[in-house]
Every structure is written in structure tokens, then in C-alpha cells.
Structure 1
């Protein structure tokens, strides 16, 4: 029977390659269908790669630590009958125990019980890191696992001097002497930051960005949330932040103007109109990188569902628990720059989407209100909204009225809305 090729599956629109963290099996082992054959890492998440068939592993075409393109063949499996697996599996477990003992003996100088991939171990040994160093490295992988980038970042984040500069620079990261001082520090971008950099640069090169602004009066919006957040949490066991309320207003505006919920095909001659409204929420990770997990089919969710969706993806992002499905398929993104105390921002479009909303900090300001007795000055709550959009497919009129519609939904939030 013909050997089956196992390829790296697609793990998101912007993911073009992965780093092979480790194989969970050896050549010659038998493996069940859907059993994990390898662990890989991307700029977004760590992920398990399952076998597509039951059989015997014939060949691995890459080594741990290698970069592999999406869709590339990395293993060959010879299909076999299920009854052969049980006996072989028991034998493999015993072999694995022996292998683990042997491996642990090769890194006795590292006093840690944490799993370290062969690539990570080789870097640690090459750099002569001690157990005190390892204990200071915070793992960003699944279950706190230390990755190659975690080790490299730890090494690069140490202070450099002119005396040891030549020992730490490579041909690929030479720094001009005219721009480097004796007390300066060289920090190599981790893989996620490098890919974020490329993604942002590509977005600016792809889409002619235009940004529009509005400043809605969100007094009723703020008042309703303040009056109902405790009852909401008591009823639904979910915290009620401003984010699901904003998402609700955005979804309603997209329903009014569906041509915002589109993307452009690779030929730049066709517009793809999406039926689902999948809202991405820009979220900071523990390592200060940014990721955009997605609330799928937000157009079918009520406020309870939106709050649950927001809380779930934000919690998973902050604890490095996101899966590839959590970060794919977005059609519109929201970035809350108000979290950092910023009034407004000019966000970069998250390709292949065509628009992104930034929400600023909510601030109390004096405002002029018209009454039957004349104008009065009162304190009201305001916030800036800024919409960056792709001028290839969204003209100023559409971008402007869409942003104003979001503003209107926020300004006219019904204070009698029931939870």
C-alpha cells in the first residue's frame, strides 16, 4: 500500500510557516489516526499536528527546530491494520521511557524538571546557561513550556558591552558602530514580533489607509453599564466590560452597511462579501506582543453571548491558551487604545480585512445641551472612535457614515435595556 504523506495543516490566514518544536513519536513507531505526531509553533499559537491516518512512521523529513512551510510534507506513514498497534504501542512506551532517561542524563547540568525540546537544550548548553538562568525564563508555550524564542530573548535581553559585543553578534544582526553606544542594549525580535512587523508593513503596502474620527457622547452607554454590571455578572456569571457593548454597536452598524464586512481577493479585481460577522479583538499577550482572537458569528449573539465570547478569548490570550481556530476568520477588528489611557489611535488594518476600529479612553467633559429654558453646560462622558479603512474598496462616504452609525448606536444606547 502506498505511503501516506503528512503535511503541515493551515493554521490561519497570515501563517505561512511553522517552527517544528518536537516530534511526539519516532521513526518506526505505530501511530493512531488523529494521534499527535508533532508539536509546532507559529507567531500566534503553539499547536499539535495530528496524524491523518493510522500506521507506521516511515520517515521524518525535518529536524526539530526547523522552519516548515504550510502544506509541506514532513512525515511519511505506511498504513497498517489497527490490531498491530496495541502491542507495538506498549513496546514504544517502554522505549520512550529509556529514551527519556538517556536524554535527561545528557542535561544533568540543568537542574529543572520542565520539558525542554532538543533544540532548546542545545541552545542552553551552547550558551552555558545554568539552572539559575533557566528558573528566570518564563515559558510562553503551552503549559508554560520554554520555547527557543524564550531562551533567545532571555539571552538577548542581557546587557551588552563593547568587550563582548563581537561574541554575540552574527552575520544577520550586525549593528552599525555609529548607532551603538557602550551602554546600549541589543534586543533581537522574537519570532512573533518579526511576523507582526512583516504583517503590519504588508498591510500598509497593500491598503491605502484612510482614518476618520468621531466623538460620541457615551453618557447613557456608561450609565447603563455601571447600573447593570453587578446584576449581569450575578445572572450570567460573566463580567460586563465595555467591549461587548461596543461589539454590539459595531455588529449592528455592519448589518446596516454590509460592504464594510468584505475583503479583496489576491487579483485585486474582486470583492469578497462575508455573510458571517467575525469580530477580532486586539489583545496584548504576556510577552507584550499583540494578537487578534476572533468572536465568530457575532451577528448571531446577544449581549450575554458577546460578553462570554469576549471574556473567553481575552482570558485564553493572556494565558497562552489560544488555538489556531481562535485567531482565524476575522472580518472586522476592534482595538481598544483607551486601555492605555490614549485619547485616540490610527490603527493599521488587519489583513485581509478592510477596516479596523480604535476606541479611545472615556473622559468626562463639559458639554452644551439645549433645553426649553436655553443652553446649559453640564458634565458628560465622551470617547473618540477612529476608523482606518481600505480606500481601494471603501470610499470616504461609506467609511464616514459607517463610523457615524456606530457612534449613533453608542450615543442612543437605551438606558431601559433589560439584561
Structure 2
């Protein structure tokens, strides 16, 4: 039985956060946990967060009790490999939670990775930068092996399907080893570097040893949960715990799934595509040996099988091959946005409904007060501000529209608050979705200033990962480019996304006369698993009536 022990540390939940308080433990010593299971709750001066487990295994020891406040990077819990017993873990002293005592206690021990460095050595793992994020790509290392670093120094850049982030160092010391080079994609929890205490020796010798000690660098990253090759893809590359779990739950044969990750590694998106297409089903257990022997010959024909049964198989259409063409590698942001959209479409049955809105009432208020409003708040009095304000109010009447769905658990979570996501264009390079927390508690002024502030941070690339988490509903706004009617893709795990299209002057019937009013289309794309067309129609009708009929001048209060 493996006696490998993984240590989870107090995460850094904000650029300036230096410590966190354990709110409560969601697992107990002896409990079995899986990758991404809720593990404990943390409160900081910036945010309250539920921290998921970065490993599969067994809770061996809780080092910091609920209610204690410790610095970022402090060891808080030890997790043993799956199947490990409590007896396999070395006993920890009762005073282990004291972060100050850790260096002295660890000094005589060799490094966790067996490299033999003097002094305490800390494993730096791929951080989890979003609730549904399963892996990350190292964009660039900002320090080299052997460099001295201080707590909070920028250390590396990470890209996920949700966000690009600059990761600060959680420790003072020396960067001893870089285990995963720039450009590689690895599962959350994978050890990517080792940092020694200030003055630690062995940094110079670390560089040659880095390659053999880091299978992730060759595309064969160890599974984040247990560090062992629990399963392999079609080319013998390792699978993350999330990929293994998805494949097992849907009875998929991963050897028949073409991997798009480094070295042909099968990624979450590859499995989800196979699930959507209905392909790559595993053979019954009794036929496994025969199926394995026939796999190489059967692989070319596997793509045709789902089509015969009515499934959809995505294939790459040949290009024009014209010498005038210019081919460029997709940016990390464009890849992240694309993967997120594919994931959302594969996950949820998405339906679009729309309604026409007469904005003449709002337009009159905007013309009268927009200059004064901007002078007082610094924000514009756009149509989006009014729509966001009305949406936040109406969502309380339709809780299913402001819900999140966990289809595997067969649960639906209804949110009694509105954390409003606002899609922001990054100069045509991609989209990010900053979140306005408790937007339903804000008036027109509050919403307008928050939209301006969040968009400014996003375009200035100063938006932290914690500022893009936890949305319950999203609005995207292509109206300024005069779109007519758009059908966006849902921002997971929301159940709906509202699209505010262009506003145009059109003739309308007003009583028995014809007038020229400002008219636009508002569309709602919704997850048909969460609610149905009747709820959608009522939601849009109420939204239209509020926008058209409310006394916005009185609410503006100017």
C-alpha cells in the first residue's frame, strides 16, 4: 500500500491576501475524498470561498482547526493516497498548526520529492482558478531555477478555460526546481515547482534533475489525485482524476478517444466531446482482452460508428490551401474561450427566446440626465445599466432562472441573491466575465459604477480570478455594435444568459397613431433542463414591462 502523503496549504485567494481563516471543515479525518470534492471553507478579508480537494485519497490529518487564522501557504491538511490507512501516515505533533514551527521541524527531512535539498522544501502545485476548472496551462515562468524569491513575488502565469492569471509565490526562498515548463497543460494539483527556504542549497543542481523528475514536461503528467498512473489514454499518456471519473461514469473506452492535450493526453474537453457524440463506449468486462487487442485496428472505424446511430462526430474540415492565406497559432485566450463554449454547448440543451422592447421611456431619461449622471459618477447611463437593474429585480420572481444545475447529482441550487456576470470584450481577442456580487442590492448608480469599474479592470488585465467566480446569471451586450438579435452561449454553471442587442429608431403604433421610437430585441438563452419555455416567456414579458413602464426618472433621483 502506498504511503504517499499530499499536503494541502492555505490558498491565496487574492493578490493582497496574506492569511485566511478556516471557517469549517467539510470532511473529517478518515473520510475518503475525490478530486474537486468540497474540503473546507476559508474566509479572508476579500472573499469567503469553498476550497475543493486537489487530490483523491483519505483525510489523514487536519492540521488547522476551524476558527484558526493562519498565513497563506501554511499546511492545513494531509491527504493520503486512495486506500491508505491512518496507520500509514507518520504521526504529526499536536502543535503542527503553528506555521512558525514548521521550518524547524522540517529542516532535517529531505525534500518531499526526494531531491535531497537542505532545509524545508515546499511543493508548488497548479492552482485551481475557478469552480469548474480542472487543468491549467503555464503561460510563462517569471523566475528561473536558482532565483531568490519573496512572498507575493510574481512567479508564473497560468491560463485556464476561465481566466489568465499571474500567480504570486506563497513562500520566501529559492526556486529550486521547475517541473513543468511553459506551454504545458497539467491537471489542478500537479506539482509544478519546488521552493526551498531562504538560503537552501541545491538550487544549482536542480536544473539537470528537473527533466527526469517531471513527467508532466513530456505530456505524461501524473494524475493529480494520487501521483500514480491509474489509467492511460490511447497513446499511453496519463489521465487526470476528472477525466478518469467522467470516462468511468459514461462507460467510455479512453483508448478510443483522441487526445488534444500535450503528447496526445486526453483532456476533459475530449471526453465531453465523446460523451456528446455517443462514441467510444467501453466493451463489456468479459470482452475486455479481445477489445484491447483489436483497439488499434478498430480506431479508424470508431469515428463512423456514432454517425450510424444518429450521433454527431466533429471533424476538421480541410482548409483552402491557398498560398495567400495566413495561418497563426491561436492565442491562449482564444483557445480558452473556445474550449469554454464547446464545453457549455456539450453540457446543456440551450434554447433561445426573445422579446421586442420599446426603450422610448428610458431614452428620454438618458437624454435628460446622462451628462449630469456622468459628471457625478464617472459612469455612462447606458441601456445596459437599466436592463441590469431590471434583471436583478425580476430574477427574484423567477428563481429557476437564477439557479445552477448539477445534473450528475440530480440537484438544482436556487440563489436568493444575484451575482451578475457582465461579459467584457478584450479588444476582439476574447471575452471575460467579471462578476458584480449582490448586484440586486444596488441601485442604478451602484450598478453603473460597478459595470464601469469591472470592465476597466478586465481591459487593463488587472481582474483577479476571484472577481470572475460565483456568477448566478450573466448579461452579454453586443448592442453597441448594432446587432439585431443574438443567441449567445450560456456561461456555466448559470442556467441562463441575457443578450441585449442594438437599439434602433423604428415606427411603432402608439394608440391610434404612428410614432418613431427606440426599439430593440432582448434575448434569453436558457438551459432547458432547469426550466421551460413558459417560465422564459413570463420572465421576458415582465422584464419588458419594467423597462417600458417604470418611472426611471424618479428612481434615478437627479
TM-score of the superposed pair, with normalisation by structure 1: 0.70
- 2:383 — aligned with what? 242
- 2:130 — aligned with what? 12
Q: Decide whether the 8 Å contact of 2:126 with 2:190 is kept in 1.
A: yes
Q: Deviations over 1:31-78 (max 9, x none)?
A: 444343333344554422233334444432122333333222212234
How many residues end up aligned between the 2 structures? Answer: 327
User: Shift in Å at residue 387 of structure 1?
Assistant: 0.7
Q: Does 1:260 align with 2:397?
A: no
- 1:341 — aligned with what? 482
Q: Decide whether the 8 Å contact of 1:281 with 1:334 is kept in 2.
A: yes
Q: Are residues 14 and 193 of structure 1, via their aligned partners in 2, closer, same or farther at CA, if it must alter by over 3 Å?
A: farther
Q: Deviations over 1:138-185 (max 9, x none)?
A: xxxxxxxxxxxxxxxxxxxxxxxxxxxxxxxxxxxx9847x3223333
Q: Distance in 2 between matches of 1:180 and 1:344?
A: 34
- 1:414 — aligned with what? 551
Q: Are residues 55 and 259 of structure 1, via their aligned partners in 2, closer, same or farther at CA, if it must alter by over 3 Å?
A: same
- Counterparts of 1:254-293 in structure 2, within 5 Å, are 254-265=395-406, 267-293=408-434
Q: Distance in 2 between matches of 1:41 and 1:195?
A: 8
Q: Are residues 360 and 56 of structure 1, via their aligned partners in 2, closer, same or farther at CA, if it must alter by over 3 Å?
A: closer
User: Shift in Å at residue 23 of structure 1?
Assistant: 3.4
- 1:37 — aligned with what? 155
User: 521, 526, 545: which one pairs with 1:384?
Assistant: 521
Q: Are residues 182 and 316 of structure 1, via their aligned partners in 2, closer, same or farther at CA, if it must alter by over 3 Å?
A: same
Q: Distance in 2 between matches of 1:330 and 1:259?
A: 14
Q: Distance in 1 between matches of 2:124 and 2:162?
A: 22
Where structure 2 has 5 or more consecutive residues not aligned to the other structure, the ranges are: 1-105, 107-119, 205-315
User: Shift in Å at residue 79 of structure 1?
Assistant: 4.7
Q: Decide whether the 8 Å contact of 1:55 with 1:78 is kept in 2.
A: yes
User: Shift in Å at residue 266 of structure 1?
Assistant: 5.1
Q: Are residues 336 and 37 of structure 1, via their aligned partners in 2, closer, same or farther at CA, if it must alter by over 3 Å?
A: closer
TM-score of the superposed pair, with normalisation by structure 2: 0.54
Q: Distance in 2 between matches of 1:185 and 1:33?
A: 44
Q: Decide whether the 8 Å contact of 1:8 with 1:49 is kept in 2.
A: no
Q: Deviations over 1:359-399 (max 9, x none)?
A: 121122222223xxxx2222222111111111101111111
Q: Deviations over 1:206-257 (max 9, x none)?
A: 1111211111221111111221111111222322222221110110111221
Q: Decide whether the 8 Å contact of 1:337 with 1:343 is kept in 2.
A: no
- 1:70 — aligned with what? 188
Q: Deviations over 1:275-327 (max 9, x none)?
A: 33121222221243222222222112222221111111222333333322232
User: 533, 542, 547: which one pairs with 1:396?
Assistant: 533
Q: Decide whether the 8 Å contact of 2:418 with 2:440 is kept in 1.
A: yes
Q: Distance in 2 between matches of 1:213 and 1:21?
A: 40
Q: Distance in 1 between matches of 2:147 and 2:455?
A: 39
- Counterparts of 1:6-405 in structure 2, within 5 Å, are 6-42=124-160, 45-79=163-197, 176=318, 179-265=320-406, 267-370=408-511, 375-405=512-542
Q: Decide whether the 8 Å contact of 1:223 with 1:415 is kept in 2.
A: no
User: Shift in Å at residue 351 of structure 1?
Assistant: 1.3
- 2:85 — aligned with what? none
Q: Distance in 2 between matches of 1:384 and 1:319?
A: 30
Q: Are residues 195 and 65 of structure 1, via their aligned partners in 2, closer, same or farther at CA, if it must alter by over 3 Å?
A: closer
- 2:22 — aligned with what? none
User: Shift in Å at residue 409 of structure 1?
Assistant: 1.2
Q: Decide whether the 8 Å contact of 2:162 with 2:336 is kept in 1.
A: no
Secondary structure, aligned partner of 1:49: strand
Q: Distance in 2 between matches of 1:289 and 1:29?
A: 34
User: Shift in Å at residue 357 of structure 1?
Assistant: 0.8
- 1:115 — aligned with what? none
Q: Are residues 39 and 204 of structure 1, via their aligned partners in 2, closer, same or farther at CA, if it must alter by over 3 Å?
A: closer
Q: Decide whether the 8 Å contact of 2:162 with 2:337 is kept in 1.
A: no
Q: Decide whether the 8 Å contact of 1:45 with 1:320 is kept in 2.
A: no
- 1:108 — aligned with what? none
Q: Distance in 2 between matches of 1:187 and 1:60?
A: 29
Secondary structure, aligned partner of 1:222: helix
User: Shift in Å at residue 7 of structure 1?
Assistant: 1.5
Q: Distance in 1 between matches of 2:394 and 2:346?
A: 28
Q: Which moved more, 1:320-329 or 1:216-225?
A: 320-329
Q: Are residues 58 and 335 of structure 1, via their aligned partners in 2, closer, same or farther at CA, if it must alter by over 3 Å?
A: same
Q: Decide whether the 8 Å contact of 2:129 with 2:163 is kept in 1.
A: no
